Structure 1
Amino acid sequence: MISTNRIFNIASDAEFNSLALDVFKFQFENNPIYRSFCDLLYKHPADVKSIQDIPFLPIQFFKSHHVVSSANPIKKTFTSSGTTGTLTSKHHITDLTIYRESYLTGFKNFYGNIEDYAILALLPSYLERDGSSLVYMVDDLITRSAHKESGFYLNNLDDLKSKIHQLEEKSQKTILIGVSFALLDLVEQFQFNLKHTIIMETGGMKGRRKEIIRQELHNILQSGFKMNEIHSEYGMTELLSQAYSKGKGIFECPRWMKIITRDTEDALSIQLPNKTGGINVIDLANINSCSFIATQDLGKVYKDGSFEIIGRFDNSDIRGCNLMAL
């Protein structure tokens, strides 16, 4: 078994690559679905010498199969949102402490101590269903923030506006994390001039509004909140880690997560940086399910490891954790 201490204390690219190969071997041996997928590709541990050789499981498998690499009992199942009649992804979690360590360590690396912030959450589409991994994470962040002003908001935008103004008057560092359509609703009804608040968007329109490109979304939010940059979170039901953008739609990963792109015409061909392709995610925190996932997002990875999301494959469905406005 691979220790979480090794996962969350990666200090170099060499350590990441070495651990990724060990995780591949572990999941090849312990995940029947992933093993079958690798068998179909004739990709076995003896054939895999670098992370470029590792097969990436198509994300659709989380809709149709039980993707688990552990014999331990399921403690929680996170589900994606979906329109009526569509299959939803199911991420079966055997160890919630790994998820908590991933998002808490990731948040601290990007933003510092959670106790320094008031956390406001405007996530109506997520709160209106069960099984959201985002709600689980944000609820824990709210609890750990230890600020009585922290909390969730559904449709009570007047109360949220008043709370934001109160926190601004106290110069309290605040993060408002919200789904895109609800943030647009907020700035259409009220005007702000924020100096102590971070606005973090975390998803598309969920069928509530017409999809727009991220730059247009950020321009509207920057104007409505009177701020220079809008932050973003990139995560999904099938992952246990998040990447963050502090502006301009450029994301960075925590040390145990990596994005690479694949050729849009050849799903098995890994691309060099600076070329648009399909997004493949390595999430080593996913030790008990699958750490190597081929998503339906399109994006570009830069030489420093940062990346941006450009769109989605035309034949992909609009999923609940899609973080790129189309």
Structure 2
Amino acid sequence: MKFPVFDIHSSEAFEKMALEIYRYQLRENAVYQQYCQLINKTQASRLEEIPFLPIQFFKSHTVVSDKRPVKITFTSSGTTGSVVSKHVVTDLDVYNQSLDHSFKKTYGEIKDYVVLALLPHYLDRTGSSLVYMAQRWINASQRVESGFYLNDLAALSKVLKSFENSHQKVILIGVTFALLQLAEEYAMPLDHVIIIETGGMKGMRKEIVKPELHHILKTAFTEASIQSEYGMTELLSQAYASDGINFTTPPWMKVSTRDTNDPLSGIEDGKTGGLNIIDLANYNSCSFIATQDLGKSFTDGSFQVLGRFDHSDIRGCNLMAVN
């Protein structure tokens, strides 16, 4: 059954659904309810009045709005001994629908692509929502060549070359440090490949800014489309940047910015602040999350990610490969 949030096609419908989910989560989500009470924000009649739960609560509490049994628990990556975020999901079909609708809206029919993943294999990292996403893409592509290639760059390079000759459309999604290693060892022109990078180095290499990363990838893989994905353990939706910098969201997701010195106050578009995310697919946990990412939001609904708050924990996709 199609979840109602995936039928949103206007700002008015988004606000109406967001307010309904806010009231539901305020009533059913004990963590969100207590937080709203502590900051004295238990009523909202407009989208701008809805409070955002700090993302750190996913490390210290079970954030859930649903009494149904947990179907899967997604966990963030972390250094040895660090506390990781846990996102309990009671309705996995909603995540599946979010992935499917978002892919089709962004890239078209998945059966048109071979999907190659520079990520840990699903069986090696069962708690990763990103690996789950890649596995779903791989399965949906229905191509025997689709799969995980993290530990065999030589085999991946051969597959990429073979598809270049046949003009087959390919999506290569990978963690940044692995894509850089592929660029160093197997540079080649890729006319029919979309490369989607998913994050920073997270301790594997020296951090570099995104423009430098994309310059390296574009130089190594001439003619390839270098793009970016923005997602996290605590969300059930993703944003994509076709130019690698400016992210766009699906209709059921919205990103805004808050004042870095006054986290309960929003700031105007175009200024740097903390990123607040509304993910209406996240109805079974919390749809309103204040992240630890710094960025800018814009009037057209797009946003940029510029970094993280000082003293934020090291975490992210790339650590999956070494944990």
Taking structure 2 as the reference length, the TM-score comes to 0.96
**Equivalent position amino acid for 1:226 in 2:** T
* Compared CA separation, residues 115 and 212, structure 1 to 2 (3 A): same
Determine which of 101, 107, 124 is the counterpart of 1:105.
Answer: 101
How many angstroms apart in 2 are the aligned matches of 1:174 and 1:125?
A: 19
Match of 2:194 in 1: 198
Shift of 1:49: 1.7
How many angstroms apart in 2 are the aligned matches of 1:296 and 1:141?
A: 28
| Conserved 8 A contact 1:91-1:237 | yes
Determine which of 100, 120, 129 is the counterpart of 1:133.
Answer: 129
Q: Say what the alpha-carbon RMSD is for the aligned residues.
A: 1.6
How many angstroms apart in 2 are the aligned matches of 1:110 and 1:134?
A: 17
Match of 2:62 in 1: 66
Determine which of 155, 164, 167 is the counterpart of 2:151.
Answer: 155
Shift of 1:302: 1.1
Mark the runs of 5 or more structure 2 residues left unpaired by the alignment.
319-323
Structure 1 stretch displaced more, 120-129 or 55-64:
120-129
Match of 2:30 in 1: 32
**Equivalent position amino acid for 2:33 in 1:** R
**2:170 paired with 1:174:** yes
Shift of 1:113: 0.5
How many angstroms apart in 2 are the aligned matches of 1:126 and 1:210?
A: 27
| Conserved 8 A contact 1:125-1:206 | no
Match of 1:7 in 2: 5
**Equivalent position amino acid for 1:11 in 2:** H
Mark the runs of 5 or more structure 1 residues left unpaired by the alignment.
none
**2:232 paired with 1:247:** no
Number of positions where the alignment pairs a residue of Structure 1 with one of Structure 2: 319
Taking structure 1 as the reference length, the TM-score comes to 0.95
Shift of 1:248: 4.0
How many angstroms apart in 2 are the aligned matches of 1:320 and 1:125?
A: 16
How many angstroms apart in 1 are the aligned matches of 2:25 and 2:124?
A: 34
* Compared CA separation, residues 127 and 154, structure 1 to 2 (3 A): farther
| Conserved 8 A contact 1:221-1:230 | yes
How many angstroms apart in 1 are the aligned matches of 2:245 and 2:121?
A: 22
How many angstroms apart in 2 are the aligned matches of 1:319 and 1:58?
A: 16
**2:79 paired with 1:44:** no
Q: Encode CA deviations 1:37-90: one digit per residue, 9 max, x unaligned.
A: 000011113xx1212111100000000000000000001000000001110000
Shift of 1:216: 0.6
How many angstroms apart in 1 are the aligned matches of 2:302 and 2:249?
A: 7
Structure 1 stretch displaced more, 283-292 or 142-151:
142-151
How many angstroms apart in 2 are the aligned matches of 1:73 and 1:120?
A: 33
Determine which of 253, 268, 280 is the counterpart of 1:284.
Answer: 280
- Quote the sequence identity (%): 56
Match of 2:293 in 1: 297
**Equivalent position amino acid for 2:129 in 1:** S
Shift of 1:273: 0.8
Shift of 1:154: 2.1
**Equivalent position amino acid for 1:12 in 2:** S
